[in-house]
Amino acid sequence: MSKIMSSIKFSSIRRWLAWFSVLFLAACHFSHKPVDSIISGESSALAPGKPLPPNYVYTPGKAGVSYRVVSYQALPQWSTQSFIDSLEAFKTSCNKLQMQPAWQTVCQQAARTIRHNHQAKAFFETYFTPWEVSQNGQLAGTVTGYYEPMLLGDTKQTAQARFPIYGIPNDFVVVPLNSGLRQGIVRIRLTGTNSGVITPTGNYTANLASFPLNEKTRALKGRISGNQLVPYYTRAQINAGALNGKAPILGYANDPVELFFLHVQGSGQLKTSDNRMLRLSFADKNDYPYVSIGKYMANKGYLPLAQTSMQGIKAWLQQHPQQLAEVLGQNPSYVFFRASAEPASGPTGALGVPLTKGYSAAVDSHFVNLGAPIFVATTHPASGYGLNRLLMAQDTGSAINGAVRVDYFWGYGDEAGTLAGKMKYPGYVWQLLPNGILPQIK
């Protein structure tokens, strides 16, 4: 789930000094010590369940990512944490993780651990190894925030509710793509309404150079035009009516800007005129890369960069409706949703479990194990002081790229939106994995 945030200046010298002191103290923990062991690739010498020694370094040899075993004392304010909610969020992760052999033992132990802070802390310290995460030699990354918005609208079009919320279009075709295939022309055969495969006997061709592919792309997402599979429509094309009659409409939003931010967050709820709630969950996307409209607005001189928070963007677009199509159209990425009448306990993340307010996060699952506990040291967007907490990596997002990149889930509603909209700070990440298990990199 990608987010549009901005750099936030601290409101007082006192806050700045407080954050500087947090970083200074943290730097004492973050400084590298002599390395006892460095490995590349897989290791057969690891014993599941057996802790690895401090300073053991694992370097997969991809994307400049490195993982180093540290002690729990190296995690800022670890001993003063409240672990009860972290434990409960991890138990939620276990609804999926328990199916994986590497996680079965720790999930069984989590189920036996009572809701008591000392017991929860002992559980993590006993069964997990903390790995300091770095990329290209840098320990510091970026932490932003996201939330679940609530839109006003209706399930049918009205004078107020005019902006459609689309499900997966009828002509939207997904074709699995081998990770090594990025150039050339391929042949495609349709296997269903929304699916196809690459095969020499296919009836359609696709020029891979015309698709927005990157190293993470695992599927072509497009539509049939003549005898070709071509890239799917962009946001600007869809907003101009390209999907008319081609996709199910799940509901209508009153406000196009609020609808845009529903796409940015990836899930939310629609409140109808008769006070019914419709949960909207991520179903798929057109696979164009996320583009920050905040940066575009700053480059055009519409808003100073420091004011391109979610709140600042909303306020400016309300005052300048003539620029609405231009600004929103700068982000070609477009999300399709699925709807359910009964809201779940929380939005469901990429792991497939409900997210927990304040204890779930989105990560780049190419570098951080989806479902794993991660300890994050950053800044609280309301106070400007240090925010150190054990979260669960239960979600992903198209703008969440890199090993030291975290999107903090703040929950549901306007208050959560305010916190998320203000959050963009430096941050440090430690991944907790079951003892004897190496980090996975895709």
Tens digit of each residue's pLDDT, the chain (442 residues): 434 333 333 333 334 434 443 443 343 333 333 333 334 333 433 566 788 889 999 999 888 999 999 999 999 999 999 999 999 999 999 999 999 999 999 999 999 999 999 999 999 999 999 999 999 999 999 999 999 888 999 999 999 999 999 999 999 999 999 878 889 999 999 999 899 999 999 999 999 999 999 888 889 999 999 999 999 999 999 999 999 999 999 999 999 999 999 998 888 999 999 999 899 989 999 999 999 999 999 999 999 998 998 889 999 999 999 999 999 999 999 999 999 876 656 788 899 999 999 999 999 999 999 999 999 999 999 999 999 999 999 999 878 999 999 999 999 888 898 899 889 999 999 999 999 999 988 8
- Predicted pLDDT at 13: 35
Q: Is residue 76 located within the same domain as residue 117?
A: yes
DSSP state of 53: P
Burial class (CB in 10 A: 0-12, 13-18, 19+), 261: buried
Q: CATH number, domain at 76?
A: 2.40.40.10
Q: CATH number, domain at 312?
A: 2.40.240.50
In a domain, 322, yes or no: yes
Pull the structure tokens for residue 35: 């390395």
DSSP 156-190: S--SS--EEEE-S-TT-EEEE--TT--SSEEEEEE
Q: Is residue 126 located within the same domain as residue 183?
A: no
Q: Is residue 159 located within the same domain as residue 305?
A: yes
pTM: 0.72
- Predicted pLDDT at 191: 96
Domain that holds residue 213: 173-231
DSSP H/E element including 288: none
The number of domains in the chain is 3
